[in-house]
Structures are given as structure tokens and as C-alpha cells.
Amino acid sequence: MSKMNRNDLCLCGSGKKYKYCCINNPSSIQFDIQKATQNAWKFFEEGYFEDALKLSDQILTYVPQNLLISYLKGLIYLKDGQIDLAITELSMIHKKAPPNPELLTNLGFAHHEKGSLVLAKTYYEKAIQLNPSYINAYYNFHAILIDENKLNEAVDVLEKLISYHAFDQDALFMLWMIHSYMKNDKEAEIYFKKLVDALPLIKVRIEAWQYLKSSSKTLPKLTGSIIETFKLALDQAKVKGQVLEFGVRHGNSIQQLAKLSNQTVHGFDSFEGLPEAWHEEAKGSYSTKGAIPKVGSNVSLHQGWFNETLPPFIKENPSPIRLLNIDCDIYSSTKTVLDLLAPQIQSGTVIIFDEYIGNLHWKEDEFKAFQEAVKTYQWAYEYLAFSFFTKQVVVKIL
Ligand SMILES: C[S@@+](CC[C@H](N)C(=O)[O-])C[C@H]1O[C@@H](n2cnc3c(N)ncnc32)[C@H](O)[C@@H]1O
């Protein structure tokens, strides 16, 4: 989006294409808006979501019907984890704009993240109908099929994807992984050979799957969404005890957990972002600037740094832990949580890690903190589930 195209919606907000609208009569304000629009997209692409959002809102005060900018707002919300706002914005555009596969896929993904899988699937299918070579829709769609236990169909969808983009490494990796999971060794080998020169991120994912496979007597369940991972984890969490989440941010995961768990869910977060840099991500990333999300009546939030809020909480609530959702990304925060809660983590406790596998540095983050705790507290454990789509892993203490 560096330059206004003839076929883009006109910046004046008429909803008509630029070539049928102001193309012959661009006023100075349109010129400014064009620059501002370019800048807003640039901010977004470079990850400056706050600036991108501010500029988008400014543009919308001049041209409230600018669907391209409203779309950008939807994308910012989606990338920033503000899923409800993303759904509102993208749904509004979906009603007003001509059908568009990219929009449909992003709207589908927002519902996927929110746990509305039927809706997500419908949007992915519509996107594929509109553009049968739109790879993002196929990629997201395969994850829904995984949740439906239709692994062969997930493979078909990924194969369709690579029939359009033969070198898509995400799809090739998933094809290798799913075939290997299903013990289709011959097919797995074919895809593995295609990953010889894979990007570093794909290489570490290969290692992660090899590790998970070799450390599990029974293969853990494969999931394709946050909500299915939660359902499975809660189903297996039979200990009478507390449900806690570390890393709440805008509340997407805790709201889903709370709806599924039929008990109070305690959420802990500074709402000031990461306490230290996390590889390429700066200290303070994922901050809500202290804003606390609106949550349901069975959610209780504890604002502050874990090492300050958790000790007094434990004093008041020393009972066993039924389920922990650890979504605080970094090694030190995960270690704090596991060390402080170790006396309450018992046989049967289920722990969901949100960034256990799938990142470039996965072995230095939540994985490392958990493996150290296993040694220190002599926990035996088994992997119950994993997802290379969400990066979650579920473990049960034995
Ligand atoms: C990835 S976000 C959580 C996302 C959230 N679960 C969701 O569904 O969108 C990570 C959160 O962990 C919090 N966090 C990380 N380390 C922390 C610590 N030591 N104390 C308090 N909060 C922490 C950050 O403030 C941030 O909001």
C-alpha cells in the first residue's frame, strides 16, 4: 500500500473505486490523506501498532467511510490480540465491502482465535471459493480440520496449498509433521526431503516435533486452536483445585478458560508488558499501558508483577492447582510462577504453556523453565497435547 491504485476504494470515502471517483480531481486534503494512509500502513507493517491506530483514527475523522483504513484498524486489533475489536471492525467492513478473500480469512482467523470455530471455518471456505489459490485460507483451514480429528482432510488441504505454492515451508513442515504423526513414514520422508534447506524457524520446529515424538510413549493429541487445547486440558484436569492464568493482557484466553471451566479463574498480569527484553522483543512489549480488560464474573484479576502478587495470593489460597495457563512468554516469568507454585503443583495438575514450541528460541524460554522445575521438584510428567498452529503444549504432572 505504498501508492493509491486505480482499483482501490477512493480515499474520499464514497465507497467507489478511485478510478470512478476523485482520480481526476484530487484536492489537497485528499493528498494529505493519501500520505497519512501510506504512513499508517507503514507503521502497521513495522509493528508500531499504537501509531498506526492513532493515525487511522485521525484519517477516519476526515473520511469516516474509508474502508481501507477501517480494514487496517481491524488488522491492527487482530495482530495486537484485541480480538473482540478486530471482529467488530472486520465484520463491519465485510458487510459494506465487496467480498474479498483476504478480509474473509482475517475475519475467520479472528473467530478462530476467539474460539468460534464453526464461523471461522465458514469464512475460510468462502475465501477459498472466491480465490482457490489463496494460501492463507488453506493454511488456517487445515488447523480447523485438525481440531475435527480429520487429519487426512487436513493433509488434502495442505496439499492443495502446495499445488499453488510448491515451496511454502509452513505447509511443507505441517505435511511432514502430520504424516509423521500418523506414522505414514513414506509420505513423511517425501516432505522431509523438501525441508533440507529450510529456514531456521522451520528447522527448530522440526527439532521440536522430533523432541515431542521421542519423549512421549503415547503420542499427545494434536490441536489446531486455543479453545480445543483448553477443552482437552480441562477435561484431563481432575484435581479439585484452582485454575490460574499468568499473562492475561486483553483477556482473550482467560475469557475462554472462564467460560469452559465452571469455576473462578484467577488471572495475573502487570498489564505493563514484558519485564525484560525477549530476544528481539523489547522490554514492555505486550503492554496494555495498565488498561485492565473487561472480564466475566468468574474471572478475578490480580494486577502487578508475579513475584509481588503471587506470594500474598498463595498465602490466602494454599490449595492444590487444577490447571495453570502460562502465557507470559519469557523464561524468568515462567520460572517465578513454577517456583512459587511448586508446593501446590501435584499429581494430576495440568499445565498449558502458550509458547512452548514453535518459536526460534523455544528451548530458552518456557520449555527451559519447565525442564528446570522438573529436575528441581522431581516431577514426572507426560505431554497431553500440542499445536504447531497455536504453539501451545499441555503437560500433566504424574
Ligand atoms: C502474550 S501476553 C498474554 C496474552 C493473553 N494470554 C491473551 O490471551 O491474549 C503476555 C503477558 O504477560 C505479562 N507478563 C509477563 N511477565 C510478567 C511478570 N513477570 N509479571 C506480570 N506480568 C507479566 C505481560 O504483561 C503480558 O500482558
CA of 36 to the centre of ligand 1 (A): 32
Closest-lying ligand 1 atom to the alpha carbon of residue 269? 22
Question: Is there a single domain that holds both residue 170 and residue 266?
Answer: no
Question: Is there a single domain that holds both residue 347 and residue 226?
Answer: yes
**How confident is the model over 320-330, as a mean pLDDT?**
98
pLDDT for 31 beyond 60: no
**Does 130 fall in a domain?**
no
**How confident is the model over 235-243, as a mean pLDDT?**
98
Question: Is there a single domain that holds both residue 170 and residue 24?
Answer: no
Atom 11 of ligand 1 has which residue's CA nearest to it? 247
- Overall domain count for the chain: 3
pLDDT for 1 beyond 70: no
Share of the chain above pLDDT 90, in %: 83
Question: Is there a single domain that holds both residue 157 and residue 192?
Answer: yes
Lowest-pLDDT range of 9-13, 22-26, 191-195, 258-262: 9-13
Lowest-pLDDT range of 62-66, 99-103, 286-290, 379-383: 62-66
**Does 184 fall in a domain?**
yes
Tell whether the torsion through CA atoms of 359, 367, 190 and 182 is positive or negative.
negative
Question: Is there a single domain that holds both residue 286 and residue 377?
Answer: yes
| Average pLDDT over the chain, rounded to an integer | 93
Q: Quote the pLDDT of residue 214.
A: 95
Question: Is there a single domain that holds both residue 291 and residue 335?
Answer: yes
CB-ligand 1 contact for 227 (6 Å cutoff):
no
pLDDT for 163 beyond 70: yes
Q: Quote the pLDDT of residue 4.
A: 54
CA of 271 to the centre of ligand 1 (A): 7
CB-ligand 1 contact for 359 (6 Å cutoff):
no
Could you tell me the CATH number of the domain that includes residue 372?
3.40.50.150
Question: Is there a single domain that holds both residue 297 and residue 368?
Answer: yes
Buried b (16+ CB within 10 A) or exposed e, 242-253: bbbbbbbbbbbb
Sole residue written with cell 486452536: 225
**How confident is the model over 327-340, as a mean pLDDT?**
98
**Does 111 fall in a domain?**
no
Distance of alpha carbon 108 from its chain centroid, rounded?
13
CA of 353 to the centre of ligand 1 (A): 12
CB-ligand 1 contact for 302 (6 Å cutoff):
no
What is the C-alpha separation between 271 and 282, in angstroms, rounded? 15
**Does 307 fall in a domain?**
yes
Q: Quote the pLDDT of residue 246.
A: 98
Which residue among 37, 52, 80 closes a domain?
80
Q: Quote the pLDDT of residue 19.
A: 75
**Does 98 fall in a domain?**
no
Specify the DSSP element, H or E, that contains 393: strand 393-397
Of 102, 55, 95, 99, residue with least CA distance to 78: 102
Question: Is there a single domain that holds both residue 235 and residue 152?
Answer: no
Lowest-pLDDT range of 24-33, 196-205, 370-379: 24-33
CA of 274 to the centre of ligand 1 (A): 7
Question: Is there a single domain that holds both residue 387 and residue 246?
Answer: yes
Sole residue written with cell 512459587: 340
**How confident is the model over 31-45, as a mean pLDDT?**
82
Q: Quote the pLDDT of residue 9.
A: 45
Quote the domain boundaries for residue 227.
221-397
**Does 41 fall in a domain?**
yes
**Does 93 fall in a domain?**
no
Q: Which three cell numbers stand for residue 281?
A: 522483543
Model confidence pLDDT, tens digit, residues 176-203: 999 999 999 999 999 999 999 999 999 9
pLDDT for 3 beyond 90: no
Question: Is there a single domain that holds both residue 297 and residue 366?
Answer: yes
CB-ligand 1 contact for 180 (6 Å cutoff):
no
CA of 249 to the centre of ligand 1 (A): 6
CB-ligand 1 contact for 249 (6 Å cutoff):
yes
The model's pTM is: 0.91
Q: Report helix, strand or coil for 224.
A: coil
Bigger pLDDT: 23 vs 158:
158
**Does 208 fall in a domain?**
yes
Closest-lying ligand 1 atom to the alpha carbon of residue 253? 8
Q: Which three cell numbers stand for residue 301?
A: 484479576
Ligand 1 pocket, mutate which of 279, 292, 328 (most atoms under 8 A from CB): 328
CB-ligand 1 contact for 320 (6 Å cutoff):
no
Closest-lying ligand 1 atom to the alpha carbon of residue 306? 20
CB-ligand 1 contact for 105 (6 Å cutoff):
no
CB-ligand 1 contact for 281 (6 Å cutoff):
no
Contact 395, 351 (CB under 8 A): yes
Question: Is there a single domain that holds both residue 180 and residue 302?
Answer: no
Of 185, 174, 165, residue with least CA distance to 145: 174
Contact 77, 83 (CB under 8 A): yes
Bigger pLDDT: 119 vs 12:
119
Q: Quote the pLDDT of residue 358.
A: 87
Model confidence pLDDT, tens digit, residues 276-289: 999 999 999 999 99
CA of 245 to the centre of ligand 1 (A): 9
Could you tell me the CATH number of the domain that includes residue 154?
1.25.40.10
Residue length of the chain: 398
Which residue among 214, 247, 267 closes a domain?
214
**How confident is the model over 149-177, as a mean pLDDT?**
97
CB-ligand 1 contact for 284 (6 Å cutoff):
no
Lowest-pLDDT range of 60-74, 139-153, 234-248, 304-318: 60-74
Contact 76, 44 (CB under 8 A): yes
Q: Quote the pLDDT of residue 51.
A: 82
Contact 379, 345 (CB under 8 A): yes
Q: Quote the pLDDT of residue 26.
A: 58
CA of 293 to the centre of ligand 1 (A): 13
pLDDT for 45 beyond 80: yes
CB-ligand 1 contact for 275 (6 Å cutoff):
yes
Query: What are phi and psi for residue 323, nearest 5 degrees?
Result: -150, 135
Of 117, 137, 384, 358, residue with least CA distance to 228: 117
CA of 334 to the centre of ligand 1 (A): 10
Q: Quote the pLDDT of residue 11.
A: 53
Question: Is there a single domain that holds both residue 185 and residue 289?
Answer: no
Which residue among 214, 239, 257 closes a domain?
214
CB-ligand 1 contact for 355 (6 Å cutoff):
no
What is the C-alpha separation between 319 and 321, in angstroms, rounded? 7
Closest-lying ligand 1 atom to the alpha carbon of residue 250? 9
CA of 305 to the centre of ligand 1 (A): 10
Of 140, 163, 196, residue with least CA distance to 387: 140
Closest-lying ligand 1 atom to the alpha carbon of residue 355? 1
Q: Which three cell numbers stand for residue 156?
A: 488434502
Residue 14 confidence class, pLDDT cut points 50, 70, 90: very low
pLDDT for 123 beyond 80: yes
Q: Quote the pLDDT of residue 255.
A: 97
CB-ligand 1 contact for 329 (6 Å cutoff):
yes
Contact 116, 148 (CB under 8 A): no
